[in-house]
Amino acid sequence: MKKVPFFVRKRVKTRVEKEAREAGKKEVSLADVKTTQARYLKNMASEVKGYQVETCFGPGGCPNRAIVSDPLLEKIETLLKEEDILGFLKEHVKGELKFHHEFRVTLADCPNACSQPQIKDIGIIGACAPQTTTEACTFCEACVEACREDAITLNSQHECPQIDMDRCLSCGKCMQACPSGTLVEGVQGFRVQLGGKLGRHPQLARELPGIYSEQTVLAIVKDCIRFYKQQSRHGERLGQILKTADFDEFTRRYPG
C-alpha cells in the first residue's frame, strides 16, 4: 500500500474530525478514516491551495523557543494568499495540481527545527544570539554545559566567555543558564534557508548569512515568490530553479 505523506495525513485527520463533529459522532471508526482518506485523495486537486505554511511545536509551549514567531506566521500566510500562487500554478502546471506542486514555507522557533525547514522552499528558524556584558564572569561553566555546539570556552586569560560564532546556532540557551548576567540576549530574529526539497532529487536548503528582523524576513519571502514566478515554467520547486548565482544574489541583497 502506498504510504500517504505526513501533510496529507494531517489534512485528512482534520477533515475526519470536522466531518465527525458535523455528524454529531462522539467516536470515529477506522472505516470513517479510510472513507474520508479515499474521498480526499480522489479529489486532491480541489484541496490544493497553492502553498503550505507550517510551524513547529513552539506555539504549544515548547521550552526551547529562541523567539516567538506567531505574528510572523500570520503575516506570511496573508502574504502567500495575496500572491495567488494557486492561480500561478493553474496557469503553469500541466494536468491536475497535486500537493507536491505547492510552495512551502516553514517556521521553527529554535534550531531543533522540528518543522523541517531544511527541506522546504523557504525555511525560517528562530534565533537569539548571545552577547557579553561588563558583568564579571564567575567561571561557573553553566554556559559551557548549556551549549550543545561546544561553541563556548572559558579561559583565565579572558574576562568573559569566548564564543565561536561559526559553531553557535543562536539557540539562546547559554544566556538563560548564565547566573551572573555576563551573557545576555543579543540580536534576536530569524535565520532563513532557501531551496530545500524532497522528491526524486532531494536537497537541503542553503542558509542566508544573517539573523533577520520580521520585516526583512517578509521582504525575503516576497522576493523569493517574485523570483519563483519569474523562473518556474512548469511549477518546479524553488530548489530546482535556484542556481548558485541566484542564491549569491540573495546573499548580496540580504547580507545580514
Taking only the tens place, the pLDDT of each residue in 131-161 is 999 999 999 999 999 999 999 999 888 889 9
Q: Let me know: does 6 contact 54? Beta carbons within 8 Å.
A: no
The residue type at 142:
A
Give residue 3's pLDDT: 46
Give residue 58's pLDDT: 77
Task: Return the SS3 of 168.
Answer: coil
Q: In degrees rounded to 5, what are phi and psi of residue 17?
A: -60, -40
Q: Residue 4 pLDDT > 70, yes or no?
A: no
Encode burial over 113-145: b for 16+ CB neighbours within 10 A, e otherwise. Answer: bbbbbbbbbbbbbbbbbbebeeeebebeebbbe
Q: How confident is the model at residue 179 (pLDDT cuts 50, 70, 90)?
A: very high
For the segment 84-103, what is each residue's pLDDT rounded down to a tens digit?
999 999 999 998 888 889 99
Top-confidence residue, 70 or 16: 70
| Residue appearing with cell numbers 517574485 | 226
Percent of the chain clearing pLDDT 70 (strictly above): 87
Q: Where are the domains of the chain?
A: 1-42, 50-127+188-253, 129-186
Top-confidence residue, 194 or 7: 194
Q: Residue 57 pLDDT > 60, yes or no?
A: yes
Give residue 78's pLDDT: 95
Q: How confident is the model at residue 40 (pLDDT cuts 50, 70, 90)?
A: low
Q: How confident is the model at residue 245 (pLDDT cuts 50, 70, 90)?
A: very high
CATH code of the region 129-186: 3.30.70.20
Cα–chain center distance at 128: 16
Helices (H), the chain: 6-22, 30-42, 44-47, 70-82, 85-92, 142-146, 173-177, 214-231, 238-241, 244-253
Give residue 132's pLDDT: 95
CATH (one of 3.30.70.580, 3.40.640.10, 3.30.413.10, 3.40.50.1970) for 50-127+188-253 = 3.30.413.10
